[in-house]
């Protein structure tokens, strides 16, 4: 006796639905599938290698999916030039809503040329020296040497990073494609945050002092109205002090970010926005000539 195998109609319908679904995958679905696959791999307890791709590899993968390489380059530039994900605490954001980071896309220069340009700017214009080097950039701090201070005073204005940023500044360089790179400057916010927290402590101490006066006033025979007035004064005084410190720290942060943007712009466009120096102009006037900045 021979048995004829017959497939289940429901299985055939399921396979047909899967084929139809595969045919209907658009760009959003492909993105979701890849994201979910990465999540599943991350949840897998077995050790898996971390994925890392160059811009050329991403462009080639996108080309296989039928995506124009021009849009891939623009997308990579937007992502790499965006600030890193903000993982600060709520208290940090209370004083500085945004991280002290600015970035810019540079075209037509190699990485070594960008490094040389950035080193010249940070040394001669910002009054800083490099104290650390990383795979994607380096770290800078204010140069305390008197010759460095004199050189910077001749070559830069009073709003330089060496004066505005109260801490180290880090630069990162990311390659987008070929001679297209992203430069990011990030200033440390540790000192502004310390100042903000000092404001909270000062406001609390002021409020506590007034409230203690109210407490001892009650013991000395103050009425309920006077006591409530002291409590209100203490609350308003403490809140006003904290608000004042907050406004000062935010203004400080805006100045730092503005200087970071200015440095990036002037670094790449020295002829568009020449740097003015009062000391340099004074020296030029004193010796009857024009002071030429580097």
Assigned domain for 96 exists = no
- pLDDT tens for 228-237 read 888 899 999 9
pLDDT at 272: 58
Say what the pLDDT of residue 294 is.
43
Contacts of 1 (CB under 8 A, 6+ apart): none
Q: Which residue has the higher pLDDT, 148 or 190?
A: 190
- 105: β partners: 182
Q: How confident is the model at residue 227 (pLDDT cuts 50, 70, 90)?
A: confident
Cα–Cα distances in angstroms (integers) from residue 290 to residues 158, 267, 280, in the given order: 20, 22, 9
The confidence band for 171, taking pLDDT boundaries of 50, 70 and 90, is very high
Q: Which is more confident, 61 or 252?
A: 252
Q: Are 154 and 124 in contact (CB under 8 A)?
A: no
Q: Which residue has the tokens 């104290």?
A: 131
What's the average model confidence in pLDDT over 171-197?
87
Residue 158 maps to a domain: no
> Domain range for residue 17?
9-79
E strands along the chain, which residues?
A: 101-107, 128-134, 137-142, 169-177, 180-187
User: How far apart, in whole angstroms, are the C-alpha atoms of residue 219 and residue 213?
Assistant: 10
Residues 182, 77: contact at Cβ < 8 Å? Answer: yes
- What mean pLDDT comes out for the span 196-200? 96
Among 15-24, 85-94, 190-199, the least confident range: 15-24
Other Cβ atoms within 10 Å of 195 Cβ, number:
16
Q: Which of 182, 170, 179 is CA-nearest to residue 75?
A: 182
Q: What's the token pair of residue 205? A: 């101490």
Rounded to an integer, what distance in angstroms lies between the CA atom of residue 221 and that of residue 219? 6
Nearest to 113 by CA among 268, 279, 289: 268
Kindly report the average pLDDT of the chain as a whole number: 76
As for how many domains the chain has, the answer is 1
Question: Does 174 map to a domain?
Answer: no
pLDDT tens-digit map of 10-55: 444 444 444 544 455 666 777 777 777 777 777 776 655 666 677 6
Is 108 within the bounds of a domain?
no
Helix axes 190-219, 224-268, angle to 10 degrees: 170
The order of strands in the sheet holding 137-142 is 101-107, 180-187, 169-177, 137-142, 128-134
Reported confidence tier of residue 246, pLDDT bands at 50, 70, 90: very high
| 112 is a domain residue | no
Does residue 213 lie in a domain region? no
Instruction: Please tell me the distance from the alpha carbon of residue 209 to that of residue 238, in angstroms, as a whole number.
Output: 10
Residue 83 tokens read as 């600030």
Task: Give the pLDDT band of residue 156 (cuts 50, 70, 90).
Answer: low
Cα atoms in the 13 Å half-sphere on the side-chain side of 168: 9
Measured in degrees and rounded to the nearest 5, phi and psi for residue 46 equal -70, 145
pTM exceeding 0.75 = no
């Amino acid at each position: 006796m021979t048995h004829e195998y017959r497939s289940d109609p429901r299985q055939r319908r399921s396979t047909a639905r899967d084929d139809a679904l595969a045919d209907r995958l658009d760009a959003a679905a492909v993105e979701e599938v890849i994201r979910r696959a990465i999540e599943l791999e991350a949840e897998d307890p077995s050790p898996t290698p971390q994925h890392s791709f160059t811009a050329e590899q991403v462009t080639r993968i996108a080309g296989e999916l039928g995506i124009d390489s021009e849009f891939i380059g623009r997308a990579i530039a937007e992502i790499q030039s965006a600030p890193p994900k903000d993982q600060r605490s709520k208290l940090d954001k209370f004083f500085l809503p945004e991280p002290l980071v600015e970035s810019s896309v540079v075209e037509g220069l190699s990485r070594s040329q960008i490094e040389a340009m950035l080193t010249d700017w940070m040394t001669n214009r910002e009054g800083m020296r490099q104290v650390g080097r990383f795979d994607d950039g380096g770290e800078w701090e204010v140069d305390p040497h008197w010759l460095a201070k004199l050189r910077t005073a001749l070559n830069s204005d009073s709003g330089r990073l060496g004066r505005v940023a109260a801490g180290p500044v880090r630069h990162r360089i990311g390659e987008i494609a070929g001679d297209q790179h992203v430069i990011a400057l990030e200033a440390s916010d540790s000192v502004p945050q310390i100042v903000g927290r000092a404001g909270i402590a000062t406001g609390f101490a002021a409020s506590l002092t007034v409230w203690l006066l109210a407490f001892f006033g009650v013991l000395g025979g103050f009425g309920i109205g006077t006591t409530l007035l002291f409590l209100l004064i203490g609350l308003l005084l403490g809140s006003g002090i904290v608000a004042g410190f907050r406004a000062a720290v935010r203004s400080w942060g805006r100045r730092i970010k503005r200087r970071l943007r200015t440095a990036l712009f002037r670094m790449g466009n020295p002829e568009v926005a020449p740097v003015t120096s009062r000391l340099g102009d004074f020296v030029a006037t004193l010796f009857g000539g024009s002071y030429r900045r580097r």
